[in-house]
Structures are given as C-alpha cells and as structure tokens.
Amino acid sequence: MSSFTDLGVPTKLAAALADLGITTPFPIQAATLPDSLAGRDVLGRGRTGSGKTYAFVLPVLARLAESKSPRRPTRPRALILAPTRELATQIEATIAPLAATLGLRTLTVFGGVGANPQIKGLKAGVDILVACPGRLADHIQQGYASLDAVEITVLDEADHMADLGFLPVVKRLMDGTPANGQRMLFSATLDNGVDVLVKRFMHKPVTHHVDSAAEAPIEMTHHVLHVRHDDRFPVLVDLTAAPGRTVVFTRTKRRAKTLTRQLVQAGVPAVELHGNLAQNARNRNMAAFSDGSAQTLVATDIAARGIHVDDVAIVIHADPPVEHKAYLHRSGRTARAGAQGTVITLMTDDQQSEVRDLTRKAGIKPTTSKARPGDALLAQLAPGERTYSAPVSPVPEPAEESNGGGQPRRSRPSGSRGAATGGTRGTAAGGARGTSTGGGSRAGGGGGRGTGGRTGGATRGGEQSGRTQGAASRGRRGGTGSTAVHTSQSSTGGAAAFSSRSRAGR
C-alpha cells in the first residue's frame, strides 16, 4: 500500500500528517494526489466520509509551499469554497495545523458573524481562504478582497452548493480567478448543474470515481423501526439515552428545536443545529456535542453534509428525509473512515409507502421491525446502560435565520432553546425524579450526566482522524462530579412516562 510520500506529498508535510496519526492514504487520496500534486485539474467523486478533505488540502498546501509566491494584502493565493459555515470551519481546522508547519496563513469567511475580523484578516494577507460564497462575494464587492492572485481553487461539496442555489455566485467568483490557475472539484455526486461548472472552468480535468455516491458504506447497518405515533418519542428517548454519540435528523428547524427541548426535559442531554441559530450558538452546540457534554445532536439537513465528529455511533431519522440522496448524506454522519455505524429510521403507519420508496431509491435493504418502548430490540441497536440526567429549564437564545451558505436573511428571536451545552446543563444535587417505568419508579440522586469520560471525540475537521487515533468506546463514561441517573439495559427509562400529549409533533 502506498504512503503519502510515495504519492508525491513532500516529506515535511507527510511528517506533519504522521504527527496527527495519519499515515495511510484513503482510496480517494491515493487516486487523486498524483494528479493534483502535479498541477492538473481534478474532478473527484466520493461518497461522504471517504476522505475528500485531505485529498484537496494536501495538494493546496504542497503547491503553495513550493510556489514561494509572496503573501499580499486582500489577495489570497488559494481559495476553497464550501456551501455551509460548519463545513468551512472544519476544512480550516483540518488545514491549520499543517499550514502552520509550512508557514502558511489561513482564514475562514462566512456570514452570520461580524465582518470586521474577516476584513482585518484579509488586509493582513492570507495564503489559503476558506469561504462560503455569499459573504466572500460581499467582501469582493466592497473592495476588501480580490481573487486575481488565486493559484488554486477548490470547490467542495459542489453538488450541495448547487442544491442551495449558489451556482450563480460561484460562477462569478470563479470568473474572478485566473484562467490558468489549477482547479479541483470534489463532490459526492456530479449532478444538479455541477457539470456546468466543470465544462466552464476546468481544463482537461482528470476524473476519479472512487465510491458510488448512490451506495452506503458496507460498514453501515440500516434498520427501519415501525412504531405507533404515541410510541415514536419514547422509542427515541430510549435510543438516545444509550452510551455514545447520536445524530437525530428532522425535516424542519422548528421540529429540531422542539425535539431538542423535549429530549432535554426527558433527561437526555441534547443540542440543536439548524439555520435559525446564530453562529455563536452553532459553535457552542457543536463544541458540546464534540466534547461529549451532550451526546445527542438534533439537526436539520444542514448537518447532513460535511459535518464530521468522531465516533458517531448512530444516526436516527426521526423524520424520514424527502429524497434518497438526503438519506445517504444524513446517514453518512456515521460509519465514517471505515468505522462501524447504525442507521435507524422511525416509521409510522402513514409513512410506510414513503419509506419503502426512499430506501429502494437509496439502494438500501434495511431490516424492518415493529418496535415498542422497552423492547429488547432497542437495546440491541443501541447497546449499553441507559442514563438520564435531571431535566433542564429552556434557555432563551437569540437566533439568526440563514440559508446555510453564509448569507443571513434576517434576525429574530428563536424562542426557548432546549439545548444542553456545557455549564447550562443542570447538575442539581439530590433532586429526586420519580418516573414511571412500567410500574416502577426511579430516584434521581443527582443531575447531569458525566461529561469527562469520553475521549477521542474532538472535532478536528478531517474525516481521517477517528480511524488513526482510535475510536472511543461507546460504553465508556466518566464523571466530573455530577451524579447520573441509571436504568438497566432493558428498561425504557424515562420514555414510558410520555404520552401522546408530549410526543414531538411536526
């Protein structure tokens, strides 16, 4: 098997990768690096979690270090376009430690945050600019940035940018880069107008198809749980109270907010991620999910593309997605970089035809089972002791509605925020919480779940980090002084006490 140096990665850069525990290239990297390092235009397609980020980060760094072009104010030397703020942040987090070893400067630009720090960074000069299209277009229009010195341009998740309606602004930005510069385009699929970008801006691109975007990784197991309407939320509570990280997907922002609040009130520390959150709230919630203080993330499809957190064990489609590509992208938050993962879709009677059609188009043959709260099947799908914390009072949070690509539409109050983040999570000492669990009761001797036991979960932005540094055990928990409430594996926990009046509605 080839090493990074065998593929042409400079020794200094390969050593920096090794320091991060990354020594073996993924297939998409092994396929594209010889061409991209040689300066050719590259068109790479690989399914989510396949290692695309390092496939373009490494040639950008290597070629900029080799070119020795001077860093100039407002004129970045490389441009990486991403469709969402979260993806842009994670790309920059992947680049930053490697860029530092080469003396290169990076900067992220996106909406939803103040423009002045970005303008200051652009004026100071930057080698690699990672940006969402909308905010970058604003900076260029106002004279704070120019793309005429860009040597390498990368479009990441190009099909998602097309889905979000960014093609016109992406075309304008690409027109501002030198025609003789190197261009790379990486995407899970090559439809939705991506071919227009390829024909217009790429010169004799070398195309690499490593994985089929229409197929899920073989490490991923798929289950459909046929549940009654009244059982949907109790089943969700049972699954999310198990050890390990879980991402729960909903169709709407309001549903994500409501479901997060209900999970927290049921004793499951959870945070939300959707377009109505201001950027600082997004950052805070992602940090809580990454460091383990909240092990459940409730999200809209804003998190279905590009978001990488190590060791996500389960993805739950609380609302089945509208179309099959969304199913595959959502599901790709688990089973990343060769790890194992479980995908669960909650299906009610009226959704049977919809889910059947969805899985067929996605090329998935799930195991379908009827499920009720407390069934042994739930402990099999999400093994481990269920743990519940004391309910947390909702915290008001100002919000900002965003189109997902860095262009805020308008600000408005978001109402109560049920997210459990860091110090806002309740750690009540000694508040008894009696919850009916099939005729019994539980006494809550303390508040929050332990937050110190999980390791290896920091968001590092690189899809490769979890594979090489070792996955944290799903059953490993620690404690930082807060006493958790435990139930046995077969117990329904707090879920059985919830009636149809308290279940999460659409």
CATH number at residue 485: 3.40.50.300
201 with 224, same domain: the answer is no
**How sure is the predictor about 447, in pLDDT bands with cuts at 50, 70 and 90?**
very low
Contact partners, residue 180, CB within 8 Å, separation at least 6: none
Query: What pLDDT score was predicted for residue 261?
Result: 95
152 with 296, same domain: the answer is no
Query: Which comes out higher in pLDDT, residue 236 or 471?
Result: 236
**How sure is the predictor about 132, in pLDDT bands with cuts at 50, 70 and 90?**
very high
Residue 355 lies in a domain: yes
Residue 32 lies in a domain: yes
Where among 209, 239, 265 does a domain terminate?
209
193 with 271, same domain: the answer is no
Q: Which residues pair with 359 in a beta bridge?
A: none
pLDDT at 453 over 60: no
Order of strands across the sheet that contains 106-109? 106-109, 128-131, 78-81, 152-156, 182-187, 42-45, 206-209
Where among 182, 209, 236 does a domain terminate?
209
Query: What pLDDT score was predicted for residue 330?
Result: 81
Query: Which comes out higher in pLDDT, residue 172 or 394?
Result: 172
The answer to whether 419 and 270 are in contact (CB under 8 A) is yes
Query: What pLDDT score was predicted for residue 219?
Result: 61
124 with 255, same domain: the answer is no
pTM of the model: 0.56
- Identify the sign of the CA torsion 273, 274, 278, 283: positive
Residue 506 lies in a domain: no
Query: What pLDDT score was predicted for residue 194?
Result: 82
Could you report the per-residue pLDDT of 468-500, keeping only the tens digit for each? 333 333 333 333 333 344 443 333 333 333 333
Q: How far apart are the C-alpha atoms of 502 and 34, rounded to whole Å? A: 56
Mean pLDDT of the chain: 76
**pLDDT, mean of residues 77-86:** 92
The least confident of 111-115, 300-304, 426-430 is 426-430
Torsion of CA 199, 200, 201, 206, to 10 degrees: 10
Residue 315 structure tokens: 């993805």
Overall number of domains in the chain:
2
Torsion of CA 227, 232, 234, 237, to 10 degrees: 110
280 with 195, same domain: the answer is no
The domain of 169 spans: 11-209
Residue 376 lies in a domain: yes
Residue 383 structure tokens: 């093994």
148 with 86, same domain: the answer is yes
**pLDDT, mean of residues 414-428:** 37
Query: What pLDDT score was predicted for residue 333?
Result: 67
Query: What pLDDT score was predicted for residue 84?
Result: 86
Query: What pLDDT score was predicted for residue 80?
Result: 97
Query: What pLDDT score was predicted for residue 477?
Result: 34
Beta-carbon count within 10 A of 294 CB = 30
**Which CA distances in Å does 458 have to 292, 338, 405?**
9, 18, 24
Residue 261 structure tokens: 């609040």
303 with 415, same domain: the answer is yes
Query: What pLDDT score was predicted for residue 48?
Result: 58
306 with 399, same domain: the answer is yes
The least confident of 180-189, 369-378, 434-443 is 434-443
Residue 344 lies in a domain: yes
Residue 162 lies in a domain: yes
193 with 233, same domain: the answer is no
In the chain, the percentage of residues whose pLDDT exceeds 70 is 70
The least confident of 1-10, 94-103, 295-304 is 295-304
Residue 2 lies in a domain: no
122 with 261, same domain: the answer is no
Taking CA 374 as the corner, what is the angle to CA 371 and CA 379, rounded to the nearest 5 degrees?
Answer: 85
153 with 254, same domain: the answer is no
If 0-12 CB within 10 Å is exposed, 13-18 middle and 19+ buried, where does residue 422 land? Answer: middle
**How sure is the predictor about 210, in pLDDT bands with cuts at 50, 70 and 90?**
low
Where among 188, 209, 230 does a domain terminate?
209
The answer to whether 390 and 374 are in contact (CB under 8 A) is no
| Chain center to CA of 203 | 32
Residue 89 lies in a domain: yes
Contact partners, residue 211, CB within 8 Å, separation at least 6: 27, 28, 45, 46, 47, 50
Could you report the per-residue pLDDT of 21-76, keeping only the tens digit for each? 888 898 889 999 999 999 999 998 866 556 788 999 999 999 999 987 899 999 99
396 with 451, same domain: the answer is yes
Query: What pLDDT score was predicted for residue 109?
Result: 96
